[in-house]
Amino acid sequence: MLILTCPYCGVKAEETELSPGGEAHLKRVGPGGTAEEFEAYLFARKNIKGVHFERWRHAYGCGKWFLAARDTHTMQVYGTYKAQTAHATDEIVANARQARAEWVPDWPQGSEAVVG
Ligand SMILES: [Zn+2]
């Protein structure tokens, strides 16, 4: 069973207390986007076997949305973080890299990082 710690209320919630929200960190397509970009935003998902970032809602708890990093192959949870966060924390990245050394985050690291 999947157990995730809600970053807002601190409760370790079983999967039955949570509602899944799909892939995390999707970028919305603006008014100038093409039909293909909008289609990709709506339907294209990574479906990764390995390190994956997901949205979850603590439906039977505080009700807030949060993000989780876990391994879709081993079910290992690397950590959870607040939904307003642009990317996973350094601690979560370190946990993922410890389990999967070949994995590299797909967002800018260190001085390249821009929070927006
Ligand atoms: Zn909660």
For the domain that residue 55 is a member of, what is the CATH number?
3.30.2270.10
- Ligand 1 centroid – CA 86 distance (Å): 19
What is the pLDDT, as a whole number, of residue 112?
Answer: 54
Question: CA angle, corner 86, sides to 85 and 90, nearest 5?
Answer: 80
Domain count, the chain: 1
Share of the chain above pLDDT 90, in %: 82
Give the mean pLDDT of the chain.
Answer: 92
Q: Would residue 37 count as lying in a domain?
A: no
* 116 pLDDT tier (thresholds 50, 70, 90): very low
One-letter amino acid for residue 105 of the chain: P
Q: What is the pLDDT of residues 39-88, one digit of tens each?
A: 999 999 988 999 999 999 999 999 999 999 999 999 999 999 999 999 99
CA nearest to 82, candidates 55, 50, 102? 55
Q: Would residue 89 count as lying in a domain?
A: yes
Q: Would residue 58 count as lying in a domain?
A: yes
Ligand 1 (ion): residues with CB under 5 Å are 6, 8-9, 58, 61-62
Q: Which domain holds residue 61?
A: 3-26+43-106
Least confident interval from 12-21, 75-84, 103-112: 103-112
- Ligand 1 centroid – CA 16 distance (Å): 13
- Ligand 1 centroid – CA 106 distance (Å): 27
